[in-house]
């Protein structure tokens, strides 16, 4: 830098002027040297300018000094520079790049602004002094108010400040008598002064009903003079609302609590919002059904109760078949509508206490606690399938879907909620694999049972027309003479798929499907015709017993049927006997008695079957036109080993004789049993000891043989 006017100018400038190359001082004027607190410029040469910048400002200023920062020539900005002996000086600085960018040279100008800063700081001090004074005054005022409040308590409590509170205020004394409230209190609670002044606080009932809460409040007031909290309360008109309360104990000068001040606000809206959030956390927004979270909760909560009461719980997973297609082709709106509609239909399929939940997508689940019999689950499943198979009307489109259902049962299949879920899911997938629109049990053997039922059902629907039913006949004999008195006709089903099927397995299904009426009529006709055939063959008249089921008794043409069948076969009523059970009479007693009385009046014999297994009582027998009592097999089988059973049989026999009824023991298998029954003077016996039920031809041979013996 040449000497010249510019240098002179710089030399006389009151501002700091300095040239820095690569951040280090290459030139500095006199004023600059003085500003940094030094006498000679020499000691400054080559030192980084940054050394003189106050640490707080290095961040902003650092980049400007080496000239690389393009913004270096922008604005003046305030800065603190360090002087010797730890002093600082406030300056306003300007940095201008000089020469080529590669030169890394900047001209720095700094102006002392100490005076300006001082003025500002003075202002701040004045301001804060003012604030202090205001605070002080406020405190004085508050003190004054406090003093005045003590003096004119009532006046002030009812005074203007409280009048204008948004919060409700209520003051009550040590005797729990309210003596002041404000308008906001009335607005929130509905209680006006005349309703509550001199009476108990408006939350008295809440405290009475919740001793724990009441204890907590009084304890807090004792210890801390203050309690804060929330509870549900009732407005004067009975509406529930949530209130937030702050109760403070107010003591007099000597520290004795004289009053309690209560500040209340209505937080119902916030509470409702919280509940709304809780609802959102537990319920599916689209369908309003419980979501996966709540489903898991309910499942986990139900299991211990089921365990205690030793009851089954059914869990069903339902996946909508064909939902994806609707969603993809008709759009999400239509898809959503379908899900809502499906959810509604599912809810109609369940019993009280069951839970339908949406797990997500098109997956639903049903929890069925208190499932009396696991085999009831398919009934619900079938209802669900039926409900889903009906067409869906969706924004002008008719859509069809179906459901695939997996079922699992607690505790048979699993006892852990996650296991159950896995089971139901697996079963559901198998249902899908098996062609959808059906249900599938997780349990292998339950699955088998249900399947068997299906097979039986299908087979039975054609059994009658295919001539697969036949009657076997089991002889009945006089206990003393072993003379044959009759036979019982027992049905058999010869299924092409299953072979010979026991009536124990297929009669319930025939009853359920309603086929029994037709099949029962066939049995009655067949038995009568067989009887006729035996008479035609010259055998002596015996009695042929046919088993009836409840369904038949309820048929309108039950009685005319007997007339018709006897006529067709050409035999008299005395050779026909019907066997009924007690449970049949229980269901519709009046109807049953009427029907039985009519056929009894026709001369047909009536037997009470399986006696001892139901609600057997003397009064029952007396009420019905019963000619014969058949003691259930279960008593006979233990007669020789179980004195109780022997006693029961003895009682039944004595009772029957008193009532003038014939007693038949069924299921007699051994000579021992026969001996005992003889001793008890049982009238007739039936059982394997003499003969199992026989096909018609063999029964004919048996009869011929036995009558020949007698003759």
- Contacting range for Ca ion; rule: CB under 5 A; set: 190-198, 332-340, 477-485, 547-555: 547-555
Binding status of residue 696 toward ligand C2E by CB under 6 A: no
Output the CA torsion sign for 202, 206, 208, 213.
negative
Min CB(548)–ligand C2E separation in Å: 6
Instruction: Report the Cα 543 to chain-centroid distance in Å.
Output: 59
Choose between 431 and 595: whose C-beta lies nearer to Ca ion. Answer: 595
CB half-sphere exposure, 346, CA atoms < 13 A: 30
Binding status of residue 609 toward Ca ion by CB under 5 A: yes
Binding status of residue 577 toward Ca ion by CB under 5 A: no
Among 24, 399, 474, 526, binds ligand C2E (CB under 6 A): 474
Q: Are 661 and 621 in contact (CB under 8 A)?
A: yes
Q: d(Cα 458, Cα 465) in Å, to the nearest integer? A: 13
Output the CA torsion sign for 36, 42, 45, 51.
negative
Six-digit token string for 181: 């409230």
Q: Which does 503 bind (CB under 5 to 8 A by kind): ligand C2E, Ca ion, none?
A: ligand C2E
Min CB(514)–ligand C2E separation in Å: 13
Q: d(Cα 566, Cα 599) in Å, to the nearest integer? A: 12
Q: Pick the closest to residue 605 from 596, 617, 614 (CA basis).
A: 596
User: Rounded to the nearest 5°, which phi and psi values hold at 238?
Assistant: 95, -10
List the interface residues with ligand C2E, window 255-274 (CB under 6 A). none
Binding status of residue 582 toward ligand C2E by CB under 6 A: no
User: Rounded to the nearest 5°, which phi and psi values hold at 391?
Assistant: -60, 150
Draw the binding track, 100-139, toward ligand C2E (x: CB under 6 A; -: no contact).
Answer: ----------------------------------------
Choose between 424 and 571: whose C-beta lies nearer to ligand C2E. Answer: 571
List the interface residues with ligand C2E, window 516-535 (CB under 6 A). 520, 523
List the interface residues with ligand C2E, window 537-566 (CB under 6 A). 547-549
Among 266, 609, 645, 683, binds ligand C2E (CB under 6 A): 609
Six-digit token string for 327: 């969603």
Min CB(545)–Ca ion separation in Å: 7
Q: d(Cα 514, Cα 550) in Å, to the nearest integer? A: 11
Sorted by sequence, the CB contacts under 8 Å of residue 216 that are 6+ apart come out as 227, 229
Q: Which does 490 bind (CB under 5 to 8 A by kind): ligand C2E, Ca ion, none?
A: ligand C2E
Binding status of residue 667 toward ligand C2E by CB under 6 A: yes
Q: d(Cα 104, Cα 564) in Å, to the nearest integer? A: 128
- Contacting range for Ca ion; rule: CB under 5 A; set: 63-71, 271-279, 327-335, 602-610: 602-610
User: What are the beta bridge partners of residue 52?
Assistant: none
Min CB(571)–ligand C2E separation in Å: 18
Choose between 354 and 579: whose C-beta lies nearer to Ca ion. Answer: 579
Q: Are 356 and 289 in contact (CB under 8 A)?
A: yes
Sorted by sequence, the CB contacts under 8 Å of residue 466 that are 6+ apart come out as none
Q: Pick the closest to residue 551 from 596, 581, 517, 578 (CA basis).
A: 517
Binding status of residue 166 toward ligand C2E by CB under 6 A: no
- Contacting range for ligand C2E; rule: CB under 6 A; set: 215-223, 427-435, 458-466, 497-505: 497-505
Among 490, 544, 585, 685, binds ligand C2E (CB under 6 A): 490
Choose between 354 and 609: whose C-beta lies nearer to Ca ion. Answer: 609
Task: Report whether the peptide linkage leading into residue 411 is cis, meaning its omega lies within 30 degrees of zero.
Answer: yes
Q: Which residues bind Ca ion (CB under 5 A)?
A: 547, 579, 609-610
Residues that bind ligand C2E (CB under 6 A): 474, 490-491, 502-504, 507, 520, 523, 547-549, 579, 609-610, 633, 666-669, 687-688, 693
């Amino acid at each position: 830098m040449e000497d010249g006017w510019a240098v002179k100018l710089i030399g006389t400038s009151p501002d700091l002027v300095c040239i820095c190359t690569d951040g280090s001082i290459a030139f500095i004027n006199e004023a600059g040297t003085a500003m940094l607190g030094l006498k000679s410029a020499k000691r400054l040469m080559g030192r980084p300018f940054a050394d003189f910048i106050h640490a707080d400002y290095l961040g902003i200023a650092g980049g400007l000094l080496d000239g690389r920062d393009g913004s270096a020539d922008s604005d003046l900005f305030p800065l603190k520079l360090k002087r010797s002996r730890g002093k600082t000086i406030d300056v306003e600085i300007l940095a201008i790049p000089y020469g080529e960018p590669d030169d890394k040279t900047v001209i720095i100008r700094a102006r002392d602004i100490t005076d300006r800063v001082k003025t500002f700081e003075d202002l701040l001090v004045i301001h804060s002094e003012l604030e202090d004074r205001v605070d002080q005054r406020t405190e004085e005022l508050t003190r004054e108010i406090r003093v005045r409040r003590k003096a004119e308590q009532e006046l002030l409590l009812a005074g203007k400040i409280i009048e204008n509170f948004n919060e409700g205020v209520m003051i009550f004394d040590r005797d729990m008598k309210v003596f002041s409230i404000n308008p906001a209190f009335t607005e929130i609670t509905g209680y006006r002064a005349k309703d509550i002044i001199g009476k108990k606080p408006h939350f008295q009932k809440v405290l009475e009903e919740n001793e724990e809460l009441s204890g907590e409040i009084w304890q807090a007031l004792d210890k801390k003079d203050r309690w804060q909290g929330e509870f549900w309360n009732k407005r004067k008109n009975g509406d529930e609302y949530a209130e937030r309360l702050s109760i403070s104990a107010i003591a007099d000068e000597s520290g004795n609590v004289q009053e309690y001040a209560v500040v209340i606000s209505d937080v119902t809206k916030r509470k409702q919002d919280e509940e709304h959030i809780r609802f959102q956390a537990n319920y599916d927004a689209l369908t309003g059904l419980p979501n996966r979270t709540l489903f898991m909760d309910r499942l986990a909560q139900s299991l211990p109760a089921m365990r205690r009461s030793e009851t089954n719980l059914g869990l069903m997973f339902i996946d909508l078949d064909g939902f994806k297609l609707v969603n993809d082709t008709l759009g999400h709106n239509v898809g959503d509508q379908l899900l809502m509609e499906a959810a509604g239909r599912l809810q109609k399929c369940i019993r009280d206490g069951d839970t339908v939940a949406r797990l997500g997508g098109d997956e639903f689940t049903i929890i069925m606690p208190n499932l009396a019999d696991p085999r009831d689950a398919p009934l619900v499943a079938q209802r669900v399938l039926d409900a889903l198979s009906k067409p869906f009307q969706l924004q002008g489109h008719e859509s069809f879907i179906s459901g695939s259902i997996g079922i699992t049962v607690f505790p048979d299949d699993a006892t852990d909620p996650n296991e159950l879920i896995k089971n139901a899911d697996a079963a559901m997938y198998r249902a899908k694999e098996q062609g959808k629109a059906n249900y599938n049990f997780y349990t292998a053997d339950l699955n088998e049972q249900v399947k068997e039922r299906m097979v039986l059902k299908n087979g039975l629907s054609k059994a009658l027309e295919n001539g697969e039913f036949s009657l076997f006949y089991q002889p009945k004999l006089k206990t003393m003479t072993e003379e044959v008195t009759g036979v019982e006709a027992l049905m058999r089903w010869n299924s092409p798929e299953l072979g010979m099927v026991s009536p124990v397995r297929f009669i319930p299904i025939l009853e359920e499907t309603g086929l029994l009426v037709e099949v029962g009529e066939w049995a009655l006709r067949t038995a009568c015709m067989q009887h006729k055939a035996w008479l035609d063959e010259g055998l002596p008249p015996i009695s042929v017993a046919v088993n009836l089921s409840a369904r038949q008794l309820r048929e309108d043409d039950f009685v005319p049927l007997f007339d018709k069948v006897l006529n067709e076969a050409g035999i008299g009523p005395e050779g026909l006997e019907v066997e009924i059970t007690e449970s049949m009479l229980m269901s519709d007693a009046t109807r049953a008695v009427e029907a039985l009385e009519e056929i009894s009046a026709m001369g047909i014999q009536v037997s009470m079957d399986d006696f001892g297994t139901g609600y057997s009582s003397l009064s029952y027998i007396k009420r019905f036109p019963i000619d014969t009592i058949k003691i259930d097999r279960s008593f006979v089988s233990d007669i020789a080993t179980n004195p109780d059973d022997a006693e029961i049989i003895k009682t039944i026999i004595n009772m029957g004789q008193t009532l003038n009824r014939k007693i038949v023991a069924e299921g007699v298998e051994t000579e021992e049993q026969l001996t005992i029954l003889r001793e008890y003077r049982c009238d007739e016996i039936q059982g394997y000891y003499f003969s199992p039920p026989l096909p018609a031809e063999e029964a004919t041979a048996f009869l011929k043989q036995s009558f020949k013996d007698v003759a």
